[in-house]
Amino acid sequence: MNTAYPYTLEPQEGGGYVVQLVDFEEGFTEGSTEEEAAFNAAEVLSLVIEQRLADGRAIPLPSPGEGRSVAYPQARVQVALLLRKTREEQGRTLAEMARALQTSWPSAQRLEQATANPTLKQLERAAAALGKRLSITLD
């Protein structure tokens, strides 16, 4: 699953830029430079997804970039998002995930929270329970 979310970058009359995340109406920020705006876009994206995960709200798949700049959420947010989206795509419940991991429902639920700090071993087990393989890349 792709976690690159596009955003618009609008120069302001007095200097600086306004950023709007395309897929999240509540996702906006600004920056004095394009680099600062890009950094802030990633920060806001992480916060928006983290809050939606905590609230159990829907998280849209990223829109096509179509030449726009993209932001990636922080790694801990990506992990929670990827586990939740994969589980949901497979039509599995948290209870089914917990059984596959041979753990408790709260432990399985924590894996889908951006505030969790799972070990690589836990992530490998969760991926295997979903019929996937853990793959880490650096961009």
Domain 75-129 has CATH 1.10.260: yes
pLDDT at 139 over 80: no
pLDDT in tens, 77-99: 999 999 999 999 999 999 999 99
Task: Give the class (CATH, top level) of 5-71.
Answer: alpha beta
Query: What pLDDT, in 10s, does the model give residues 25-62?
Result: 999 999 999 999 999 999 999 999 999 999 999 999 99
Q: Which residues contact 15 (CB under 8 A, 6 or more apart)?
A: 32
- In angstroms, the Cα distances linking 52 to 70, 72, 75, 79 are 19, 16, 16, 14
Domain ranges of the chain: 5-71, 75-129
Beta-carbon contacts of 64 under 8 Å, excluding residues fewer than 6 positions away, are: 6
Its sign, for the CA torsion 106, 110, 115, 117, is positive
Q: Residue 2: pLDDT band by 50, 70, 90 thresholds? A: confident
Q: What is the DSSP string of 65-90?
A: -TT-EEE---HHHHHHHHHHHHHHHT
Q: How far apart are CA 20 and CA 131, in angstroms?
A: 35
pTM: 0.88
